[in-house]
Amino acid sequence: MIDLHCHILPGLDDGAGSMEESLSMARMALEDGIKTIVATPHTLDGLHTNPLDRVSRTAGLLREALAGQGIALEIRVGADVHLCPGMAERIGNGDATTIDNAGKYLLLELPPQTIPERMRNEIFSLKLLGITPIITHPERHPVMQRDQGALRDLISLGSLVQVTAMSLTGEFGGPVMSCAEMMVRDRLAHLIATDAHSAESRPPLLSRAVEAAEAILGNLDEAKRMVTQLPAAILAGNPVEVPAPARVRKSRSFGKGSW
């Protein structure tokens, strides 16, 4: 399996606090069947600034530590990039990086309570550069919980969608779990990633979420694609084919939130 979203790099954000914890997370991921992790520290969120050179340097240190411990886990670089003005320019300046620094796909985190009007323009600017945004954990966003139309709009603009493994297995609570299940069932979610931040409270595990997705979809192969073929294509910088979203269902609220 491939984990496209993981805060495994030590000391860069609110993820792993030390190299020891990074190694613990790596062992846990490998035991769960994860062979590749894209290290994606927060950046441009007002709290953390992790330009490409810093991410690459720290990823190199982690690779050395993994090799020294005989842990056969592949580490690629990326970032969990917060929506902000002028994203295309900031990526070009190295303030943030795309997945594997390939200029093809970008993890895009939304502001915590709203979806700014400028988001359409930012996505359009990214697409003009050939960069496909991957919206991270929308099932935990109050706007998305209130109305799936907002997510459908982002998909129609050419975005992909990633849900968090722990959302599907219930650790973020019932409303988030129900919303994640709806997104998977209606083919509004294309990828599952751990968004792991630690070895204990938010661990890098995918296998149970794949089982949950299989139960929702009734199809193990389709569930596995969300952590194997699709992320592999993204890492290779290739186009991905995803199912068309299901027809619009009656709007349902999964928790508190508002436009």
- The average pLDDT across 38-50 equals 95
Instruction: Give percent of the chain above pLDDT 90.
Output: 88
Q: Rounded to whole angstroms, how far apart are CA atoms 108 and 79? A: 9
C-alpha to C-alpha distance for 47 and 91, rounded to whole angstroms: 18
For the chain, give the mean pLDDT.
94
- Give the integer Cα–Cα distance in Å for 258 and 256: 7
Q: Note the pTM of the prediction, 2 decimals.
A: 0.94
pLDDT of residue 255: 43
Q: For the chain, which domains are there? A: 2-235 (3.20.20.140)
Q: What percent of the chain has pLDDT over 70?
A: 96
Q: What is the C-alpha separation between 42 and 110, in angstroms, rounded?
A: 12
